[in-house]
Structure 1
Amino acid sequence: MICGAGPADHVDRMVKLAQADGWDVWCVATPAAVEHFLDLAALEELSGHPVRTGHQRAGQPGLPKAAAVVVAPATYNTINKWAAGIADTYVLTQLAELTGLGLPIAVLPFVNTALANNRPFLRSLEELRAAGVTVLFGEGGFVPHPPRTGGQVMDSYPWRAALDAVRRA
C-alpha cells in the first residue's frame, strides 16, 4: 500500500527488495500517491502487475489473497484515518478489511517531527499496535525528521525494516 509522501518516488526500492526475497508484489496506491509521486507504467512493469488505484469494476479481476501487507510510505492522514476506522479511499477500505482478517501488516510512517508530536497521531499508532499491526516508528523503524527536511532522508528510509517485519510475522 503506497501513500502520497516523498518515499513513494522510490517505492521501486521496496519492490526490488521484496522480489529479491521471493515475494510476488502487488501495489495499491492512494490517490495522492498516484497524482504526485508514482509512475504507474514503470511500477506495473517492475511488479509485473497492474497498480490498483480504486475499487474493482464488474468483470475486473480482484486482487489475489495477500500473504502480508506493507504500508509504506504511510502518511499522517492515512495512519490517523485507518486507526479511526475511516475507510474513504480504496487503500483505507483494504487496510480496514485486512486488519480485521488478522493478516500480517507492517506500517512504515513518513512524518516530520511536528506531525509526529501530535497526540492524535501517537494515539493512532497505539491503536494500530493494539489491532495487531506492526508499527515501525522510532528506533529500528522510521525516525521523524524536522519539518521541510524530508528530501534529505530519502536514502535512509528503512524499506528493509518493513519487509523484515512481515517476514517475521
Structure 2
Amino acid sequence: MSEPALLLVVCGAPLAARVGDGVRAARGRGWDPYVLPTDAALPWLEEQDLSDVPVIVGNRRPSEARRTPTADAVAVVPATFHTVNAWATGNADSYPLTTLCAALGSRTPTVAVPYASQELTNHPAWSASLTVLRRAGIRIVDPQNGSAESLASVPSGTGGRIVKDFDWDWVFERITARPTV
C-alpha cells in the first residue's frame, strides 16, 4: 500500500520559506507530499531544495494526465489574505485554489495556517471567510503559537521570528484528526 497523499498548498508570504521543512516533516510522518505553490509563492521557493518532491505549477493541459493522486489530506501553509478569501467564496481561478475548493467539497481533512497583517485582518472579509472555512470543517492554526482556538494577525516586522519559530507539528497534529462540523 502506498503512503497517503498530502497536498501542500503554499502561498506567497514569509512562512513559505519553510516549505522544505514541511516536506521533510510530512515524509517523516508517512505522507507522500506534493507542493502546489501559488504564483506569489514561487519566489519564496527559489532558495529551497525541492528537487525530490513534485512541485505542481499552473494548470494542466487538456492532454495531460492528472498530476497528483487524490488527496488524503491538504495543508495550506501559509494561507494568505487573498487565498483565504478566494477559497471561502469558491473562487477557483488557479490550480491551488481549485484544489482547495475541491478538498472542501469532498470533505478532505484540511489544515490552514493563515498569515496576514493587521491591516488585512481588519478587513471585514477576513473574519467572514475564516468563519465560512471553519464551519466547513477546515482546521485553522495560528502561525505564531499553533493555537487552533484563536488566530492573531501577524504584527509588522515579526515575520522572521514567526518563520524561525514555526513548528510543523502544529499542522500535523491537526491533519491526523478528522475535522468535525
Identity of aligned residues (%): 33
Q: Which runs of 5+ in 2 are unaligned?
A: 1-8
Instruction: Provide the alpha-carbon RMSD of the alignment.
Output: 2.0
Q: Within 5 Å, which residues of 2 pair with 1:17-166?
A: 17-34=25-42, 36-39=43-46, 42-45=49-52, 47=53, 50-57=54-61, 58-137=63-142, 140-141=147-148, 143-166=152-175
Aligned to 2:17: 9
- Which has the larger helix fraction? 1
Do 2:20 and 2:48's aligned partners in 1 also have CA atoms closer than 8 Å?
no
Give the paired residue count.
Answer: 165
Do 1:113 and 1:145's aligned partners in 2 also have CA atoms closer than 8 Å?
yes
- Normalising by structure 2, we get a TM-score of 0.83
Measure, in 2, the Cα distance between the counterparts of 1:153 and 1:120.
Answer: 24
Measure, in 1, the Cα distance between the counterparts of 2:40 and 2:18.
Answer: 15
**1:146 CA displacement:** 1.3
Q: Which runs of 5+ in 1 are unaligned?
A: none
Measure, in 2, the Cα distance between the counterparts of 1:110 and 1:4.
Answer: 10
- Normalising by structure 1, we get a TM-score of 0.88
**1:61 CA displacement:** 4.2
* Amino acid paired to 1:150: G
